[in-house]
């Protein structure tokens, strides 16, 4: 095997999320033989910072771990802290938290659908989906005041009420979302251009997925039933009627189907919450100087991208002794590596985007060609052109 490595910065350029991340590919001609992930470009030292801030200040940091899963992180953080402190939140607060979480799931899956369409080359669908996504962004802004980073949850409950006079308007907006999502299901499963680029690409079977501890829609697209809302329910998910979505395809088409069907389930859950929410208080008093008893807690949440865990240890002060966060994408990288091996270079963008990486599309790709001894640098634009050319042969 010839040993010349060439690191070619594929410049930061992706119209949507560009979270910097680097992969070192070993290729043999057109086929990818090995992949090595290199992460850490986004390491801000959050866990260390959380040890010197009190529990209310930490709310603002956990929100900004990721701008798209921000409510999921807040749900997990407040859940863990409340478990350590033995704090029971009122029923109405649980319903409001579920409502925000499902709205955020809709927003994230629609965002992903547009990005995936762009990676396939189907820019028209990208623009259509992001236009329809504005409906859920308007809804989020009406409820919380911001399009991202809502700051709804707090230790002890939630911060803002859902005013009853707005429910009919919100029902109408949710119905519109359901109608558009049904249209996208039809497009994704029958449109020939999408099927050609998605079927069989990046295949990973069920046993491999279980062995590599994959999670979230990534694992559910290979037939593993691992939705935390169903197998280890938290908040009020054990009372809400909704489907556990998983398919057997194992390739990119499976990812598309799982996410779009989950969006429909989320719309159903939101409507159920608006119809069944009880009256009552929305929060229990908790002030920043309050100390929590000693103890520890683990809290698992089904975030948009998979299983999210917050583990907190308290030593009796008003600051955490240690708080550990593991974002779902870190758990999905081993299965991503397995998906890329054996595929073509031109399939790399869609396979990467397929797992919905939260430190998203690559900043750098290094190509290590075994046979040719050649080094070349590609920008993402050139990679997309290459991919389009490859598929139109």
Partner 1 sequence: MKKVSVEEHTKVVEDLVKEFGEENVYNTKVPRAYRAFAHVNREKLLDVVKYLKEEHGFIHVTTISGVDMGENYEVVYHLRSEGFSFSLKVPVPKDDPKVPSIVDILNGAVLYEREVNDLLGVFPEGHPDPKRLILAYDWPEGVHPLRKEWDIQTIREKVDGKKWGKDVE
Partner 2 sequence: MSILTWARTHSPWLIHFNAGACNACDIEVVAALTPRFDVERFGALLKGSPRHADVMVVSGSVPRKIRDRLKRIYEQMPEPKFVVAVGSCAISGGVFQDCYNVMEGVDKIIPVNAYIPGCPPKPEAILDGVVKLLMSAGY
- Residue numbers at the binding site for partner 2 (CB under 8 A): 9, 11-13, 15-20, 40-46, 48-49, 52, 60-61, 64-68, 70, 111, 127, 130-131, 133-134, 137, 147-149, 358, 360, 363, 379-381
Binding status of residue 131 toward partner 1 by CB under 8 A:
no
DSSP-derived secondary structure letter, 11: -
Smallest distance, partner 2 to C-beta of residue 137, A: 8
Q: Which of 17, 173, 284, 313 binds partner 1 (CB under 8 A)?
A: 313
Specify the residue for token string 């870190």. Answer: 330
Residues forming beta bridges with residue 312, ordered by sequence position: 297, 323
Residue 131 site contact among partner 1, partner 2, none (CB < 5 to 8 Å, cut-off depends on kind): partner 2
| Encoded tokens for 7 | 């690191």
Entry field: residues in the chain: 393
Closer CB to partner 2, residue 266 or residue 329? 329
Q: How many residues bind partner 1 (CB under 8 A)?
A: 38
Binding status of residue 33 toward partner 1 by CB under 8 A:
no
Binding status of residue 210 toward partner 1 by CB under 8 A:
yes
Return d(Cα 221, Cα 259) in angstroms, integer.
9
Closer CB to partner 2, residue 142 or residue 208? 142
Closer CB to partner 1, residue 144 or residue 362? 362
Binding status of residue 268 toward partner 1 by CB under 8 A:
no
Return d(Cα 308, Cα 305) in angstroms, integer.
8
Smallest distance, partner 2 to C-beta of residue 381, A: 4
| Encoded tokens for 122 | 């189907």
Binding status of residue 211 toward partner 1 by CB under 8 A:
yes
Interactions with partner 1, residue window 47-66 (CB under 8 A): 47-49, 52
Binding status of residue 7 toward partner 1 by CB under 8 A:
no
Return d(Cα 149, Cα 145) in angstroms, integer.
9
Contact track, partner 1, 318-337, x by CB under 8 A: ----x-x-x---xx-xx---
Smallest distance, partner 1 to C-beta of residue 51, A: 9
Are 365 and 249 spatial neighbours (Cβ–Cβ below 8 Å)?
Answer: no
Residues whose CB is less than 8 angstroms from the CB of residue 57 and which lie 6 or more positions away in sequence, other chains included:
288
The alpha carbon torsion through 273, 265, 167, 286 (nearest 10 deg) reads 50
Distances (CA, A) of 363 to 5, 71, 358, 375: 17, 26, 13, 17
* Kind of pairing between the strands at 22-28 and 6-8: unpaired
Return d(Cα 269, Cα 162) in angstroms, integer.
16
| Encoded tokens for 265 | 């389930």
Other Cβ atoms closer than 10 A to 393: 4
Closer CB to partner 1, residue 72 or residue 215? 215
Specify the residue for token string 């608006």. Answer: 274
Return d(Cα 308, Cα 78) in angstroms, integer.
13
Are 120 and 194 spatial neighbours (Cβ–Cβ below 8 Å)?
Answer: yes
Interactions with partner 1, residue window 155-184 (CB under 8 A): none
Closer CB to partner 2, residue 245 or residue 319? 319
Stretch that binds partner 1, among 129-137, 194-202, 222-230, 270-278 (CB under 8 A): 222-230
Residue 16 site contact among partner 2, partner 1, none (CB < 5 to 8 Å, cut-off depends on kind): partner 2
Smallest distance, partner 1 to C-beta of residue 210, A: 6
**Which residues contact partner 1 by CB under 8 A?**
37, 39-40, 43, 45, 47-49, 52, 83, 210-215, 226, 228, 230-233, 238, 296-298, 300, 307, 309, 311, 313, 322, 324, 326, 330-331, 333-334
């Amino acid at each position: 095997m010839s040993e010349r490595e060439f690191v070619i910065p594929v410049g930061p350029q992706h119209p949507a999320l560009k979270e910097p991340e680097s992969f070192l590919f070993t290729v043999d001609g057109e086929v990818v033989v090995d992949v090595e992930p290199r992460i850490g470009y986004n390491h801000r030292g959050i866990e260390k910072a959380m040890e010197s801030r009190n529990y209310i200040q930490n709310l603002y940091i956990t929100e900004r771990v990721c701008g798209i899963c921000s409510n999921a992180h807040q749900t997990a953080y407040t859940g863990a802290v409340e478990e350590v402190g033995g704090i029971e939140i009122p029923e109405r607060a649980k319903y409001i938290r579920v409502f925000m979480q499902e709205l955020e799931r809709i927003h994230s899956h629609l965002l992903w659908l547009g990005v995936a369409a762009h990676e396939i080359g189907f820019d028209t669908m990208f623009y259509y989906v992001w236009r329809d996504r504005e409906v859920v962004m308007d809804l989020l802004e009406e409820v919380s005041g911001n399009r991202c980073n809502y700051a709804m949850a707090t230790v002890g409950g939630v911060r803002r009420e859902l005013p009853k006079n707005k429910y009919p308007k919100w029902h109408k907006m949710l119905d519109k979302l359901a109608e558009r999502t049904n249209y996208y299901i039809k497009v994704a499963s029958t449109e020939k251009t999408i099927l050609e680029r998605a079927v069989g690409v990046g295949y990973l079977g069920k046993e491999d997925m279980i062995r590599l501890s994959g999670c979230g829609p990534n694992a559910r697209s290979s037939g593993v039933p691992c939705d935390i809302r169903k197998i280890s329910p938290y908040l009020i998910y054990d009372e809400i009627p909704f489907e556990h979505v998983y398919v057997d395809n194992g390739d990119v088409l499976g990812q598309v189907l799982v996410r779009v069907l989950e969006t429909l389930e989320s719309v159903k859950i939101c409507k159920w919450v608006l119809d069944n929410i009880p009256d009552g208080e929305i929060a229990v008093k908790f002030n920043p100087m309050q100390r929590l008893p000693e103890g520890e807690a683990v809290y698992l949440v089904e975030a948009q991208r998979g299983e999210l865990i917050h583990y907190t240890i308290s030593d009796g002060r008003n600051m955490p002794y240690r708080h550990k966060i593991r974002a779902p994408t870190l758990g999905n990288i081993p299965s991503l590596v397995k998906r890329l091996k054996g595929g073509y270079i031109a399939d790399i963008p869609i396979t990467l985007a397929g797992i919905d990486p939260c430190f998203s599309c690559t900043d750098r790709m290094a190509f290590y060609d075994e046979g040719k001894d050649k080094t070349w640098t590609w920008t993402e634009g050139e990679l997309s052109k290459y991919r389009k050319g490859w598929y139109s042969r």
